[in-house]
Amino acid sequence: MTVPEILMPELRYEVDREGKVPAGRATFVTEEPGLVVATFRPGHASEILCKQLNRVCKHIFRSGLWAQRWGADESAEPSEHTLLTIRFELLPADKFPEVLVCLPWERPGEFVWLIRRPHMSPQAIDEANAHLRKAVRAGLWVQRWEEGETKERFFFPEELEDP
C-alpha cells in the first residue's frame, strides 16, 4: 500500500479564457500533485469571486491550515484530520457586507464556501459540489487544527494579503 504524500498545494480558481470548459458544463477541474485549478465557463462565476476564492485558498495553504493528500486511497477510512464535508452554498446578496462575494466558514471536519448570489451559477455550484464530494471520499484534503481546537474559523478575503 502506498502512503499518500502530504503537499502544500496551490488551489486556483479562474474564469475560462481559453475554451477549457467542455460544452454543456460550467466547470472544469484539473489536478496534479501540488496544483488544483477550477476553471469556470464565463457567466458561471465572477472575476471578483475567483479573486476572493484565490486569496482565501492562498492564505489557508500558506498558513498550513490545510494540506493535500496526493495519492490517498478512496477505500481507506478517513483520518481524524481528513476533511469530511466541503461545499459551496448560494446566499442572497443582503446576507453579505458590500465588499464580500464569498465568506468561507470552517470548523473541524467541515468547510463551507458561502457565495453571494449571483456571483456563482447554480450549475457551477452543483458541479463544484459533485467534484468536492469525490475529493472528500478519496481523503484528498487534510485540515490542520491544534489539539482540542473546536472553534469556527471565518476567512474575510478583503482582510487577507493579496495573492
Cβ neighbour number for residue 25 with a 10 Å cutoff: 15
pTM across the whole model: 0.85
Q: Residue 148: is it exposed, middle or buried by C-beta count within 10 angstroms (0-12/13-18/19+)?
A: exposed
Beta bridge partners of 104: 113
pLDDT value for 76: 55
Question: Which residue did the predictor score with more confidence, 84 or 54?
Answer: 54
Residue 72 banded pLDDT, cuts 50, 70, 90: low
Task: State the amino acid at position 138 in one-letter form.
Answer: A
Residue 28 banded pLDDT, cuts 50, 70, 90: very high
CA 97/CA 114 separation, integer angstroms = 12
pLDDT value for 77: 53
pLDDT tens readout for residues 111-160 = 899 999 999 999 999 999 999 888 877 777 777 777 767 788 888 877 77
